[in-house]
Amino acid sequence: MNHLFPTYNRWNIKVASAKGTKIIDDQGKEYLDFVSGIAVNNLGNRNEKVQQAILEQLDQYWHVSNLYHQEPQQIVAKMLTDYSDGDSVFFCNSGAEANEAAIKLARKFTGKSKIITFKQSFHGRTFATMSATGQEKIHSGFGPLLQEFSYLDYNDSEGLSNEMDDTVAAVLLEVIQGEGGVVPAEAEFLNKVEELCKQYNALFIIDEVQTGIGRTGKPFAYQNFNLSPDIITLAKGLGSGLPIGAMVGKSYLKEAFGPGVHGSTFGGNPISIAAAKATLEIIFQDEFLDEVVEKGEYFKSSLHEALAGVECVQEIRGSGLMLGISCHVDVTAIINSLRDKGLLVLNAGPNVIRMLPPLTVSKEEISQAIELIKIEMAHFEMLNPV
């Protein structure tokens, strides 16, 4: 009996509890969690400081609506703007909603409608964000889509130069394509995007839904480059598992988002805001972020070493604790056996094994995961010689 729409291909795990880097099923089996609820639980499962903050807020007020001043929203907004290039924040409930807000704001502010995004991008499942997503399999059956989106080749500066003109309202991209295969943007390309946006009065929007909140060792992944986007969008890791999204934009954009222009009943919900505040207080610390960088480098170099002789491995890429092993083969079978052996990882397209451990992961846990991956890939290769 199943009363859910089958929109997810669910794993054969019934979750009983979760703590830190561990997920435990109803049989008592322990899994090493290198998924983090898809880049959400950046502090691991059930972080104690976040839990405490939620409990304290439960004793004050739950939902009152955005008709009221809520000081904690201001505090979280200040943290997001202090640590980014933005000045103003709009809170919502998900990544798609954050991108939806950014697309609406770009059209309203510029008075133009064309939005440029990239092939293999992922920006969400609502009509606007699905239309922004450069993947046919996500559009399939839902047409007609929202108009005036064009999908260019990622990392192709020349292609973008040819497409840019005065009709473009915004260019929207991820600095590492997550769902699209853990594909990093090149610095030169990103600088070109910013330059062309300035030249044609288009907004430069960076989707940090997956890459933000410390994932790459900076508060936001665009800070690994010399960039200053007009808007960044956030969600996933922001609330440590409570639903919250945010759009962070430059101050001149305020004029286009006045009272009644956009809104969200639950946006900036007090419980989610309490979780976000506690989350950012931990993650936006230099020592914490330095450790993410160090563990990420350790993870990547150890993976290179462990998988050196494995023929089906094409490339190991990504940054910080967002890594992908791109393979010449379909990785579904490998991911399934890793799960049976107690390691949870994700795919990103058919050929990439994606790893998103909590940022609090230990080096021992990273080593354990690598050992399992090494054994499993050698086993796979033995059964499927190239």
Ligand X SMILES: *Cc1c(COP(=O)(O)O)cnc(C)c1O
Residue 339 annotated as binding site = no
Reference 83, options 287, 193, 248; nearest CA is 248
Within 8 A by CB and 6+ apart from 213, the residues are 42, 219, 220, 234, 236, 237, 238, 279, 280, 283
Considering the complex, what minimum distance in angstroms separates the CB of residue 172 from ligand X? 10
Phi, psi of 72 (to 5 degrees): -60, -30
Interface residue with ligand X, options 174, 194, 230, 365 (CB under 6 A): 174
- Residue 352 is inside which H or E element, if any? strand 352-355
The dihedral sign for the CA sequence 189, 40, 247, 294: negative
Judged by CB under 6 A, which stretch of 57-65, 205-213, 253-261, 336-344 contacts ligand X? 205-213
Our finding on whether 124 is near ligand X (CB under 6 A) is yes
Reference 311, options 385, 233, 213; nearest CA is 385
Sketch the per residue contact string, 328 through 357, with ligand X: x for CB under 6 A, - otherwise. Answer: ------------------------------
Within 8 A by CB and 6+ apart from 337, the residues are 376, 379, 380
Interface residue with ligand X, options 33, 85, 207, 376 (CB under 6 A): 207
C-alpha distances in Å from residue 375, one per residue of 95, 306, 307, 329, 372: 36, 9, 10, 17, 5
Considering the complex, what minimum distance in angstroms separates the CB of residue 179 from ligand X? 6
- Cα separation, 63 vs 265, in Å, equals 9
Judged by CB under 6 A, which stretch of 59-67, 84-92, 204-212, 263-271 contacts ligand X? 204-212
Cβ nearer to ligand X, comparing 347 with 368? 347
**Helix runs in 124-283, H state only:** 127-132, 136-139, 157-163, 187-199, 270-283
Residue 141 annotated as binding site = no
- Cα separation, 190 vs 180, in Å, equals 17
Residue 122 annotated as binding site = yes
Q: How many residues bind ligand X (CB under 6 A)?
A: 15
31's tokens: 């899994």
Cβ nearer to ligand X, comparing 96 with 344? 96
Our finding on whether 230 is near ligand X (CB under 6 A) is no
Our finding on whether 360 is near ligand X (CB under 6 A) is no
The dihedral sign for the CA sequence 267, 272, 274, 276: negative
Judged by CB under 6 A, which stretch of 50-58, 118-126, 158-166, 359-367 contacts ligand X? 118-126
The dihedral sign for the CA sequence 243, 249, 255, 256: negative
- Cα separation, 236 vs 377, in Å, equals 30
Cβ nearer to ligand X, comparing 174 with 194? 174
Our finding on whether 209 is near ligand X (CB under 6 A) is yes
Cβ nearer to ligand X, comparing 44 with 124? 124
Residue 210 annotated as binding site = yes
- Cα separation, 325 vs 310, in Å, equals 11
Count of other CB atoms within 10 angstroms of residue 166: 11
Residue 208 annotated as binding site = yes
Hey, which residues between 66 and 95 contact ligand X (CB under 6 A)? 94-95
Considering the complex, what minimum distance in angstroms separates the CB of residue 351 from ligand X? 18
Cβ nearer to ligand X, comparing 123 with 313? 123
Residue 188 annotated as binding site = no
Our finding on whether 210 is near ligand X (CB under 6 A) is yes
Residue 207 annotated as binding site = yes
Residues comprising the binding site for N(2)-acetyl-L-ornithine?
Answer: 125, 264
Give binding residues as ranges.
Answer: 95-96, 122, 125, 207-210, 264-265
Bind-site residues for pyridoxal 5'-phosphate = 95-96, 122, 207-210, 265
Binding site for ligand X (CB under 6 A): 94-96, 99, 122-124, 174, 178-179, 207, 209-210, 235-236
